[in-house]
A and B are shown apart, each in its own frame.
Chain A
Amino acid sequence: NAGVTQTPKFRVLKTGQSMTLLCAQDMNHEYMYWYRQDPGMGLRLIHYSVGEGTTAKGEVPDGYNVSRLKKQNFLLGLESAAPSQTSVYFCASSYSAYSYEQYFGPGTRLTVT
């Protein structure tokens, strides 16, 4: 039981490049989330999904796209990276929303130059 895994762990991009971050969970959770963590700002929700084939915008969705084609995977895409997207990205999953904990992955540190 690996929990929540994220790929890659580190990445450096140049402005304008694209990439996809992969999140995978093996707990059969319905809910999955993508957050970014920046100094002094805590965690901010980018996008989330309440089930396979569904996605929704969070607090800071601009510049990102997501897909949930399989229940266990949640992909975060950056089509044209900008320096403002330099951050640590965390994926999380949960069985349900209310009163259930979220399980977090180890994070992806992304630097855009």
Chain B
Amino acid sequence: GNSVTQMEGPVTLSEEAFLTINCTYTATGYPSLFWYVQYPGEGLQLLLKATKADDKGSNKGFEATYRKETTSFHLEKGSVQVSDSAVYFCALILNTGNQFYFGTGTSLTVIP
């Protein structure tokens, strides 16, 4: 089947630390991959996406590279800020499907 596995949180980092949130996937076809972010009390917002192997999605200092050989889409940021505190979701959709598949989310707290 289709599924997304994220590293479990919560993750707590000091400001300016390096962030990695791991995401791996299983897909029966060819997926597009996404990272969504949810700030407290809000709905999810698209952070970045990649639609084919070796593509790199980037936004607001976050990056993720679509690695088909390792079925991974790890999220990274070189220097986190307090304002990055949120829950991050990895997701996929197949090129033949109508449904998104979300990971369970990883909570990030950045302390000053």
Contacts and interface: CB of A to CB of B under 8 A. Distances in A.
Given A44-B102, A45-B100, A98-B32, 17 more contacts: A40-B104, A42-B102, A42-B103, A42-B105, A43-B44, A58-B99, A90-B44, A92-B44, A97-B97, A99-B32, A99-B51, A102-B44, A102-B46, A104-B43, A104-B45, A107-B42, A107-B43
Interface residues on B, range: 20 to 34
B59 to A, nearest CB: 11
Interface residues of A, number: 25
Interface centre among A45, A48, A101, A105, by most B CB within 10 Å? A101
Interface of A: 4, 31, 33, 35, 40-45, 48, 50, 56, 58, 90, 92, 97-99, 101-102, 104-107
21 contacts: A31-B98, A33-B100, A40-B104, A42-B102, A42-B103, A42-B105, A50-B98, A90-B43, A90-B44, A92-B43, A97-B97, A98-B32, A98-B94, A98-B95, A98-B96, A98-B97, A99-B32, A99-B51, A102-B100, A104-B44, A107-B43
